[in-house]
Amino acid sequence: MSLPPLFLQRMAAWLGPEFPAFLEALQAPHPTGLRVNSLKISPEAFPARSPFPLQPVPWCPEGFIVPEATARPGIHPYHEAGLYYLQDPAAMLAAPLLAPQPGEWVLDLCAAPGGKTTHLAARMQNQGVLVANEIHPRRVRVLAENLDRCGVTHAMVLNETPDRLAARWEGLFDRVLVDAPCSGEGMFGREEAAARDWSEEAVRGCARRQSAILEAAARLVRPGGDLLYATCTFAPEENEGVIGRFLRAHPDFDLMDVPDAVGDSGHPEWVGETDVRLRRAVRLWPHRGPGRGHFYALLRRAGDERPYRPRPRTRLPGRTRALYDEFVRQTFQAPPSDEGLLVVGRHLYRAVLPPEMWEGLRVFRPGWMLGQVEGTAFVPSRALATGIRPEAAREVCRLELHDPALAAFLRGETIPGPDTSGWVLVTVEEFPLGWARATRRGLRSSPHPLRPPSEFFARR
């Protein structure tokens, strides 16, 4: 790939004798990164059943590298069941640094496609409030689909600007992640467009946008809360430069030391910054470890103030309530929690925030989507299936990896099943994939197949 000469000149000046190794690593193929989804299986248990060899990522207990170039983890049924998320190893440091705890309120301000969001959700153990925001409408759907696949049940998805969120939710969140849009220099080896569109002016433009996003993000953090700034670029204007200006404008924030820090420190001297705190930032380089490279700065706001946070109430029309209750009675061993049940259009959600808190905002999903009313019946969603344990359902059809019925189910075909009626939870081994309706001919899978026939089965 042809890289911009000025980019190469800048990097050579900064890296000195490390530059040849950096350039080789930047352009070389990178092995696939795989992060185990601990909402489904523990990172200790997964390697024993992994279909491909794994190597650990040093800064992320859930993270692994798939060293075999011929491995295709993205087409395996385990991926469809949400056991793992394919993610660059450098991106796996965000959740360990921000360290969200179960029960906290956490915001991912630039969330699509959902790699870091699903990692935050797993660290929170589906407890608390997770708000995933994405400003680009086309990317919001992909974000929601990844949350569904990974079994995230405590998140709402928005399509808003940071400024509008800051105006409504100032000082509300314990932790905020800004995975800022950037010039993407770390992606040059994979995305030709990123290298083609690069210029110093583009870098400066990114830095201006990043500073504006960070300003809004700072308003959303409660006193005593944490703000993590991340990019996948090497440009110091977008990294140390942005954080240096932020610290000067916000004396109530400090840049935190990172315990057991990995990678390189920040380099304030590259942009003429004199604040030595900028050395507390973390840089991951492609030639020093797994991944394509990232920059992180963990900021903490002074104080310790916990805002009032109302819980959502159940608001169900009588007809929907009756149809849903009947579905629950027939399908579940014990009734699930109905806190925050809310109808929006035809869809039933378990909302994570009261509607008055998000009224007027562009909300793609107010919470866990449970299903919808169709005619005189309640039809469950795939998100409901992937968000529960198999033991919660009365009827389960367990399919093994090499069972032809598994491929048929993924294609949306009718498969053999138990002699029963109503909805049946379909799993690959013990991991839910979706629902099927019992008929006289067998189990009729969801009207929305998960994906086309997979190469995984074609290769068998």
DSSP string, 315-371: B--HHHHHHHHHHHHHHBSSPPP-TTEEEETTEEEEESS-HHHHTTS-EEESEEEEE
Cα separation, 282 vs 272, whole angstroms: 18
Contact of 425 with 435, CB cutoff 8 Å: yes
Is residue 415 predicted with pLDDT exceeding 90?
yes
* Position 447 confidence tier, pLDDT thresholds 50, 70, 90: low
Residue 458 has pLDDT above 70, yes or no: no
Helix (H, G, I), strand (E, B) or coil at 229: strand
Same domain membership, residue 376 and residue 271: no
- Radius of gyration for the chain, computed over Cα atoms and rounded to the nearest angstrom: 23
Quote the percentage of the chain above a pLDDT of 70: 96
Provide the CATH number for the domain around residue 78. Answer: 3.40.50.150
For residue 448, the model assigns a pLDDT of 54
Torsion angle defined by CA atoms of residues 93, 95, 97 and 101, in that order, rounded to the nearest 10 degrees? -160
- Is the pLDDT confidence value at 395 over 60? yes
Distances (CA, A) of 196 to 7, 199, 200: 11, 9, 12
Claim to verify: residue 111 and residue 252 sit in the same structural domain: yes
Q: How far apart are the two ends of the chain, measured CA to CA in Å? A: 35
Please state which of the ranges 82-96, 201-215, 414-428 shows the lowest mean pLDDT.
414-428
Q: What is the number of domains present in the chain?
A: 3
pLDDT at 452: 47
Cβ count within 10 A of residue 336:
16
Q: Are residues 328 and 200 in the same domain?
A: no
User: Looking at residues 399-421, what average pLDDT do you find?
Assistant: 91
Least confident of 166-180, 187-201, 238-252: 187-201
Residue-wise DSSP of 287-308? TTSSSS-EEEEEEEESS-----
pLDDT at residue 451 in the model: 55
177-183-185-188 Cα dihedral, nearest 10 degrees: 120
Domain containing 30 equals 5-301
Which residues are designated catalytic? 232
To the nearest 10°, report the CA torsion of 119, 175, 181, 114: 20
Both 383 and 395 in one domain: the answer is: no
Residues 399 and 283 in one domain: no
User: What is the structure's pLDDT at 440?
Assistant: 87
User: Cα separation of 110 and 439, whole Å?
Assistant: 43
Structure confidence at residue 38 as a pLDDT band (50, 70, 90):
very high
pLDDT of residue 260: 66
Domain termination site, one of 250, 278, 301: 301
Q: Specify burial of residue 308 (Cβ count, 10 A radius: 0-12, 13-18, 19+).
A: exposed
The domain boundary, picked from 241, 268, 301, lies at 301
3-class DSSP assignment, residue 48: helix
3-state secondary structure of 446: coil
| pLDDT tens-digit series, residues 253-298 | 999 998 766 789 999 999 999 999 999 999 999 999 899 999 999 9
pLDDT score of 417 = 87
Residues 266 and 177 in one domain: yes
Inter-residue contact 31 to 67 (CB < 8 Å): yes
| Among 361, 388, 415, residue at a domain's last position | 388
Enter the pTM of the model: 0.96
Between 21 and 336, where is the model more confident? 21
Bridge-partner residues for 158, per DSSP? 133, 363
| Cβ neighbour number for residue 414 with a 10 Å cutoff | 16
Output the domain CATH number for residue 397: 2.30.130.10
The whole-number average pLDDT for the span 390-404 is: 96
Residue 93, both tokens: 């440091």
Residues 223, 347: one domain?
A: no
Residue 453 confidence (pLDDT)? 47
DSSP conformational letter for 4: P
Quick one: 120 and 189 in the same domain?
yes
Where residue 218 falls among pLDDT bands split at 50, 70, 90? very high
Q: What is the mean pLDDT of residues 175-191?
A: 93
Residue 455 pLDDT level (bands cut at 50, 70, 90): low
**How does the average pLDDT of the chain come out, rounded?**
94
